[in-house]
Amino acid sequence: MYDPPVDVLKECIESVIAQDFHDWELIMVDDFSPTAAVPMIIGQYAQQDPRITLIERDVNGHIVAASNDGLAVAAGEFIVLLDHDDLLVPGALTQVINAVDRHDDVDYLYTDEDKVGDDGTFYGAFHKPDWSPERLRGQMYTSHLSVLRASVVREVGGFREGFDGSQDHDLVLRVTERARRVVHVSEVLYHWRAVEGSTAVDIEAKPYADDAGRRAVQEHLDRVGIDARAVAGAEPGRYTVERRLPPARSVSLVIPTMGQSAVVHGESRVLVVEAVRSALARTDHDDVEVVVVHDAPTPAYVLDQLREVAGDRLVLVPFDAPFNFSTKMNLGVSHASGDRVVFLNDDVEAISDGWLEQLVAPLDEDDVGLTGAKLYFSDQTVQHAGHAYYNGGYHHPFKFWTRDEVGPFGELVINREVTGVTAACAAMRREVFFAVGGFTETLPGNFNDVDLCYKVAATGLRTLFIANSELFHYESQTRVAQVAEWERLAVVGRWGTPTEDAYLRSKLAMPNLRRVKELPADLSGGA
């Protein structure tokens, strides 16, 4: 610590003393504070309670040096990170220990948090997702309260010089690379003090921390063998992981269509032709195959235009049967030759360069089974930023938020684990698709993508929302999905009724009702 206000320092110490779990030690390292009252007050507490230790540095070494001094004398099995002006919630340590008792192999735990203002008001609760390694690359989301097994902290070398301001992000990345188990305690157990000069008040307060965090993420990517670069994100403390797709990786786009035309941005267009044109124009990847599954009514001129746009990349697959999205997609994949398959609606338009590379490259990680893109309506409001399954339903959180909004806690601008994604633009490894049985053909219209996401999760694989793979989806904002009760019951009967989403607990993620007068149904299937 360095020169904290005396009153908040006392409140911090008192919040530890008040814990109903008593087997703790509080190590306080004073980093040569100019205010003599700081070490004096800590010394007084230490005299009254032998569990409190004061270490006084004779030179200011900043947070990494001070933290390592504390780590060097720590005798506990676990290290709990507590800033000198923040507060532990009563009973916090008991809840942490209870979690440890349930999982004797846990090496890292984190809890939910909120902020405390100068007037003592608690606000800004961050109800965090369960363990989300992809999100940790995009932001230090686990921060408060972080609890780390001391032996693992020492194995990885403790805090590292050169990462001041993001030293905890760097440490947690290294610890979780080798952790046997990571546990999320989904209770607010930490109050983060919002004071002037703190990132709790101003996310831009410590620009040096943003650079340190980016470097921490980059070194992590290098260590775990992910071919990517970490770049500054949409706001400080957020990072974008730009992956590289191996040139030899073959990719098949699978697109169902009837060859419809529509007016988009004031101009008439053949939707599937422009979908293919934009998809190929916005990628530098060469080995791309375009598999179009077309219904019998598809006009011949549409197929001619597709041949002109896609050339010898095009594979045309006729379909002459009653509408069944699942059957059409399964048929398309059976005709595809790519190592990776991308499901693509015919009413999309790729708008971010490298959309395909960013969507497909994460599948090179063995534990990633499915990825989904960020989709916008024509007015650039969000149509899809991952699924969330809760309160007995299947939802599109963040619907109608604007393209320039980062979302609560950066949800809209960072890649992250999600429970599900829409099949309007999603990618899988070919072998995973067949291993889970593809799309369930008894769900011809709705919830076929929800079912697919459940099947992927059942194999233990992760599903990722890829924020830097962006497309328009020209689905009507006011279209009401015609969902039959039997469709919902089929999914519930197979997977149970969803109660709480593991990756999205914030009420702030609700659809933006300012954008529309009447909210349409939550979710239609992949069609």
Q: Tell me, yes or no, whether 330 and 406 share the same domain.
A: yes
Q: Is-contact 255 345, C-beta < 8 A?
A: yes
Burial readout 80-97 (b: 16 or more C-beta within 10 A, e: otherwise): bbbbbbbbbbeebbebbb
Q: Would residue 434 count as lying in a domain?
A: yes
Q: How far apart are CA 82 and CA 86, in angstroms?
A: 7
Q: Is-contact 370 427, C-beta < 8 A?
A: yes
Q: Tell me, yes or no, whether 271 and 366 share the same domain.
A: yes
Helix axes 6-17, 37-48, angle to 10 degrees: 20
Q: Would residue 521 count as lying in a domain?
A: no
Q: Tell me, yes or no, whether 495 and 348 share the same domain.
A: yes
Strands in 25-129 per DSSP E: 26-30, 52-56, 78-81, 87-88, 108-116, 122-126
Q: Is-contact 41 5, C-beta < 8 A?
A: no
- For residue 482, the enclosing domain spans 251-509
Which of these three, 192, 208, 238, is where a domain ends? Answer: 238
Q: What is the pLDDT of residue 486?
A: 93
Q: What's the pLDDT band for 508 if we cut at 50, 70, 90?
A: low
Q: How far apart are CA 392 and CA 390, in angstroms?
A: 5
- Domain count for the chain: 2
Q: Tell me, yes or no, whether 222 and 73 share the same domain.
A: yes
Which of these three, 203, 238, 273, is where a domain ends? Answer: 238
User: Quick check: 388 pLDDT over 70?
Assistant: yes
User: Quick check: 527 pLDDT over 70?
Assistant: no
Q: Would residue 243 count as lying in a domain?
A: no
> Which CATH number is 460's domain given?
3.90.550.10
Q: Would residue 343 count as lying in a domain?
A: yes
Q: What is the pLDDT of residue 185?
A: 98
Q: Tell me, yes or no, whether 350 and 233 share the same domain.
A: no
Q: Tell me, yes or no, whether 120 and 78 share the same domain.
A: yes
Q: What is the pLDDT of residue 482?
A: 76
251-257 vs 288-295, strand pairing mode: parallel
Backbone angles phi, psi at 288, to 5 degrees: -125, 125
Q: Would residue 484 count as lying in a domain?
A: yes
**Which residue, 257, 410, 290, is CA-closest to 356?**
290
Average pLDDT, the chain: 93
Helix axes 485-495, 448-458, angle to 10 degrees: 0
Task: Classify 307 as helix, strand or coil.
Answer: helix
**pLDDT per residue as tens digits for the range 241-290:** 999 999 999 999 999 999 999 999 899 999 999 999 999 999 999 999 99
DSSP symbol at 103? -
Cis peptide before 519 (omega within 30 of 0): no
User: Quick check: 87 pLDDT over 60?
Assistant: yes
* Residue 56, beta-bridge partner list: 30
Residue 118 burial by Cβ neighbours in a 10 Å radius (0-12, 13-18, 19+): exposed
Which of these three, 238, 272, 295, is where a domain ends? Answer: 238
Type of residue found at 302: V
Q: Tell me, yes or no, whether 262 and 213 share the same domain.
A: no
Cα Rg of the chain (Å, integer): 26
Q: What's the pLDDT band for 2 if we cut at 50, 70, 90?
A: very high
Q: What's the pLDDT band for 159 if we cut at 50, 70, 90?
A: very high
Q: Tell me, yes or no, whether 79 and 203 share the same domain.
A: yes
Q: Would residue 518 count as lying in a domain?
A: no
Q: Tell me, yes or no, whether 209 and 335 share the same domain.
A: no
Q: Tell me, yes or no, whether 500 and 363 share the same domain.
A: yes
Q: Span 493-497, mean pLDDT?
A: 97
* Residue 261, beta-bridge partner list: 270
Q: Span 117-137, mean pLDDT?
A: 96
Q: Would residue 519 count as lying in a domain?
A: no
Q: How far apart are CA 240 and CA 165, in angstroms?
A: 19
Backbone angles phi, psi at 267, to 5 degrees: -125, 140
**pLDDT per residue as tens digits for the range 194-230:** 876 555 555 566 778 999 999 999 999 999 999 999 9
Helix axes 300-310, 271-281, angle to 10 degrees: 10
Q: Would residue 524 count as lying in a domain?
A: no
Q: Span 80-101, mean pLDDT?
A: 97
User: What are 194-198's contacts with CB under 8 Å, separation 24+?
Assistant: 194/115, 194/116, 194/117, 194/118, 194/124, 195/5, 195/8, 195/85, 195/118
Q: What's the pLDDT band for 517 if we cut at 50, 70, 90?
A: very low
Residue pointed to by tokens 């044109």: 277
Q: What's the pLDDT band for 477 if we cut at 50, 70, 90?
A: low
- Pair of tokens at residue 372: 């989904």
DSSP symbol at 400? T
Q: Tell me, yes or no, whether 310 and 203 share the same domain.
A: no
Report the half-sphere exposure of 395 (CA within 13 A, side-chain side). 22
Q: Tell me, yes or no, whether 62 and 180 share the same domain.
A: yes
- Pair of tokens at residue 416: 């992250």
